[in-house]
Amino acid sequence: MKRLGRTERLRAGQTFRWEDDEVAVVGTLRVGALKIGASLSDGREQILGLVLPGDFVGRLSATGAAHRVTAAVDSTLCVFRRSRFADFVHCNPELEHALLDRAFAELARARDRMLLLGRKTAGERVASLLLELAERSGIPHGGRIALPLTRGEMADLLGLTIETVSRKITALQRAGTVALPDPRGAIVRDREALRIAAFA
């Protein structure tokens, strides 16, 4: 499959181009993190989700509006022409099933985020985000997980203020649930306590 694609590197803040030389593209994130976002007509913006290593980004059909995808940190993707990739997928049922599984996982995360924004408290929202990052990272318990979003971006994603996000992270730190070795990293010291905080 590597023969079908090419490597594309994005600097933090750079937008992933859906149209490259008038050819629609899709990709798989290899390194880094991407933000999925949308803009309202008045210029307001909203972060809708995160793309992490191993995640697929793009659409295999031309239907529906494409959201803006921006690198949260320096990132590397394997990019394919959409038409060639779609043909390859249709000829490889195992890959087709894997992409379907990923689509269902993304749908489940979207539903979880609806619950988060609609019903969860500020503390539960912050704990849920940290738990999601820990579980999706695949890092063993006690290892450092990357925090690809700034506090402001976390606040945007969670529908909170920066001050509230910082306060809730500090509370988790004081409780011994997480440690913050640096501004863009976290260590989950007690995953069960974090899970309880996310679903209290």
- Same domain? For 100 and 153 the reply is no
Please say if the pLDDT value at position 171 is more than 90.
yes
Q: How confident is the model at residue 140 (pLDDT cuts 50, 70, 90)?
A: confident
pLDDT reading at 71 higher than 80: yes
The conformation of residue 15, written as its DSSP 8-state character, comes to B
Note whether 110 and 189 are same-domain residues.
no
Cα–Cα separations (whole angstroms), residue 25 to 1, 5, 43, 73: 15, 10, 26, 21
CATH code, domain with 76: 2.60.120.10
d(CA 184, CA 78): 24
Judge whether residue 37 has pLDDT over 70.
yes
Residue 141 and residue 186 share a domain: yes
Q: In total, how many domains does the chain have?
A: 2
Higher-pLDDT residue of 96 and 170 is 170
Mean pLDDT of the region 70-92: 88
In the prediction, which pLDDT does 21 show? 45
d(CA 101, CA 177): 31
Q: How confident is the model at residue 61 (pLDDT cuts 50, 70, 90)?
A: low
